[in-house]
């Protein structure tokens, strides 16, 4: 067991962080908004944590104090949320592919700024970010409770008035407006919540990766996070969690297959380096054969129906 944790501990934490990033993209999709801005807020949260931990919250201890890490997460969430409101109000007037293009442009603006600002370390980035834990697997003490809390909140959100309003906007915005729902308010709310979650995850990831640079928030990352949700399931938060975990582990699985030996050189190289091509194919095939993703609300409805049916048969 110790060998397994030592080998795959970092991957397990990455899967939990991937699930959180999937949720950050799922939130705007609840309102029918194809936003690809999560990598931008993720990168922003990471830069905030990296700058604070290396220049402001300096500590003489061997390990970075966990209360300071929690404070960095709070600051990253607040800044990302404020920026989410500032960007969301004008951007969410757009719809569909136009909103996707606008949010991609936002991600690229942040990436270019991080490449040219001195405080972000330019193209080199920020290195030597202090560690709050001795081993990678210990990051689960922070990441796993955050995932559980996020899932509980998402479960409640889907069942209260706000969640029903977001679903109504996703299904038919004009009908929702006629029922007295303010689409702009709820779309900005969903966008901002997603930005906050992505910023908090970025703050954790900066310490986890020990270095942070502009490669953390790119268009490639937008496609990967979109795959998490579209293939995992865009109609329930569990789909984003399952998709985030599966597709975070997928590159490692492909790399293991490529290293088994006996494969043609070109195929082994493709499995190692063709991650984005494979993700793109999965998006195309998934939208054709699984338009609502692998995990859908109908799965739970069918299970509940079968349980009820079995109870009726038992009583007879």
Residue predicted with more confidence, 161 or 8: 161
Domains present along the chain, CATH in parentheses: 1-314 (1.10.3470)
Rounded CA separation 50/68 (Å): 12
SS3 content of the chain, % helix, strand, coil (to 5): 75, 0, 20
d(Cα 188, Cα 192) in Å, to the nearest integer?
6
Q: Are 240 and 228 in contact (CB under 8 A)?
A: yes
Q: Are 228 and 18 in contact (CB under 8 A)?
A: yes
Most confident of the ranges 8-17, 71-80, 179-188, 262-271: 71-80
pLDDT value at residue 315? 60
Q: What is the mean pLDDT of the chain?
A: 86
Which positions ≥6 away from 203 have C-beta within 8 Å? Answer: 45, 46, 48, 49, 69, 72, 73, 75, 76, 77
Determine the 3-state secondary structure of 126 from DSSP: strand
For residue 91, the model assigns a pLDDT of 84
pTM for this model (two decimals): 0.88
Question: What is the per-residue pLDDT for 299?
Answer: 64
Please say whether the dihedral angle defined by the alpha carbons of residues 17, 18, 20 and 24, taken in this order, is positive or negative: positive
pLDDT range class, residue 71, cuts 50, 70, 90: very high
Q: Which residue has the higher pLDDT, 102 or 277?
A: 102
- Per residue in 169-213, pLDDT (tens digit) is 988 888 888 888 888 899 999 999 999 999 999 999 999 999 999
């Amino acid at each position: 067991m110790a060998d397994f944790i030592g080998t795959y501990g970092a991957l397990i934490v990455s899967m939990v962080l991937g699930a959180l990033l999937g949720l950050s993209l799922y939130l705007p999709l609840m309102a029918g908004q194809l936003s690809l801005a999560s990598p931008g807020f993720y990168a922003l949260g990471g830069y905030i944590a990296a700058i604070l931990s290396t220049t402001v919250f300096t500590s003489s201890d061997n390990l970075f104090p966990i209360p300071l890490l929690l404070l960095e997460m709070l600051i990253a969430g607040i800044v990302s949320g404020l920026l989410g409101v500032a960007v969301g109000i004008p951007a969410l007037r757009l719809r569909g592919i136009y909103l996707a293009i606008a949010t991609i442009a936002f991600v690229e603006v942040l990436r270019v700024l991080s490449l040219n600002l001195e405080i972000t370390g330019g193209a080199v980035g920020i290195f030597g970010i202090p560690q709050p834990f001795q081993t990678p697997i210990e990051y689960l003490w922070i990441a796993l409770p955050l995932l559980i809390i996020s899932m509980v909140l998402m479960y409640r959100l889907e069942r209260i008035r706000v969640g029903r309003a977001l679903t109504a906007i996703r299904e038919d915005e004009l009908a929702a407006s006629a029922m007295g729902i303010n689409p702009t308010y709820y779309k900005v709310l969903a966008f901002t919540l997603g930005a906050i979650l992505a910023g908090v995850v970025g703050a954790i990831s900066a310490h986890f990766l020990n270095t942070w640079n502009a490669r953390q928030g790119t268009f490639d990352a937008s496609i990967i996070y979109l795959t998490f949700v579209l293939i995992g399931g865009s109609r329930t938060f569990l789909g984003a969690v399952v998709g985030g975990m599966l597709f975070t582990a997928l590159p490692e699985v492909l790399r293991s297959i490529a290293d088994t030996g006996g494969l043609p050189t070109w195929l082994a190289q493709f499995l190692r380096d063709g991650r984005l091509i494979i993700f793109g194919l999965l998006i195309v095939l998934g939208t054709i054969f699984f338009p609502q993703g692998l995990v859908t609300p109908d799965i739970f409805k069918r299970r509940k129906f079968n349980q009820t049916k079995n109870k009726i048969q038992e009583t007879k």
